[in-house]
Chains A and B, each alone.
Chain A
Amino acid sequence: MREAAGMSERSGRVVPPGGGRRARALRRPPFFLLWPSAALLCLIVLLPFAIGVYTSFTGLNQYTISHWSSAPFIGWQNYVDSFTQGDALGATLLQSAWASISFALATTAIILPIGIVAALLMNRPFPGRGMVRSLFLVPFVMPTFVNAITWRLLFMNNWGLIDRLLSTLHLASANTYWLIGPNTFWAMVLADVWASWPFVYLLTLAGLQQISDELYEAATIDGANGPAMFFQVTLPLLRPILGLAILLSTLNHYNNFTLPFVMFGTPPPTQVDVLPVNVYVTSFQLFNLGGGAAMSLITLLIMLVPAFFYIRLVRLGEGAA
């Protein structure tokens, strides 16, 4: 509502609607208070990013690291080499990207139903619920490298617990290899599923507790049974939070460096030569820092694609449908 014009008591001038320039200035949000945060953001995020972009176009290696700003400019060569030449194992960027994407999608697809079911169970009160909720968090709080070492020991062939269990159940030979060969991928997925399902469980539980009981009462009155209530009431209301869980989980698994690094060492088997490990080996073991920077940027671009589609798909930030 516009304020009416009036006379200024002090100067006698006519004061325009809105109270004048000073008043408008005072009503504007104090954006200047954001300058320190913006400056910090530029320093710790944008500046290193810009240096990384620059490095990706140079031939930075062990011969030029001590005067990195004058490393020779080689244009797009690092990007071309990433796609065509590969690392010490011959794994190209595309092969590593496929390993990372498969790992991220497989792990997310498995932990999603586990997390939802666990949250549904924990949403109803029962004796000892608090203790069970705490136990559920143990895999999540365990450091990743501890998790990796533990699963490495479990997967040791012949004497590891997994091989002994599978051979006792006549499901596999006692000499099945999980740390080399094609089984390495599923060994890594299993180890990460165990560690990360509580993440989906926590987000889903938080979402469930925001759903009003009145909606369930209304559904009951309308004759809905358990599965109908889940699919018609619970799941649609959980859609935003599940979308966020899928997005964050996928990105987190895609970026997972510690698990494959500790579980398999370097260089890892080809099946688990995920992008973060490939970038690390290229940069810090083969000393091809320019190539590593190029692969890092390509990794970022690959990550942005699913993030963009997920956000649009679940309409994150908007109200529930």
Chain B
Amino acid sequence: MAVDPIHQFQIVNLFPIVKIGNTEIAFTNSAAFMLTAVAALTVFLVTATAGRSLVPSRLQSAAELSYEFVASTVRSTAGAEGMRFFPFVFSLFMFILTVNVIGLIPYTFTVTSHIIVTAALAITVFLTVLGYGLWRHGFHFFNLFVPKGVPIYILPLIVAIEILSFLSRPISHSVRLFANMLAGHITLQVFASFIILLGTGLGIAGWVGGALPLLMIIILYALETLVAFLQAYVFAILTCIYLNDAIHPGH
């Protein structure tokens, strides 16, 4: 009778798109929600900036606020030169934020609760850092792994550790977002199932007692709203920190 808390993360094939060899690529509910998020975001930003009034409307000031927020994050973390990556960071931040917030609506699907999605985003960032760093600085980029002022006899060890530290970035980068969303949504569902269990098990007394988990859900929901925003922000700021390494890889 218990409600399966994992059920909400199930991928459902809506309709097939192409078939490559034996692998059928289908349009899933995950893809549908990503498209919804992108569409909602596009509509929001385009309509908000269409007016371009000097005294902004509410919608326009919301768009300006998000621009200012991301821009100040990029500037403070990656410097003025990091602003060339502003479109990238802004897209990442807004996409993750929108997807997280849509996931908070009951009966929707949370795209970022699948590690394949967050890993794809994190690997994109990782490859961007690697590619831009190599293109911009050539072999100089590898100075990133050679800290200054280290005695020569432990340098090989330090370089190995630095390289491993660099390679582990996409893991922590993606796992953080994914695990936060997953854990939060499972917790919500578990507390919600308590209400149903109490109600069906104990009758009237159970439904009354169900007020306690309901209160908990309300509190958790507020926390999840914070987490949805915070994780998008953390993802964006870590992207900026990593991009900063590509722009200024030490000397």
Q: Are A and B co-members of a single complex?
A: no
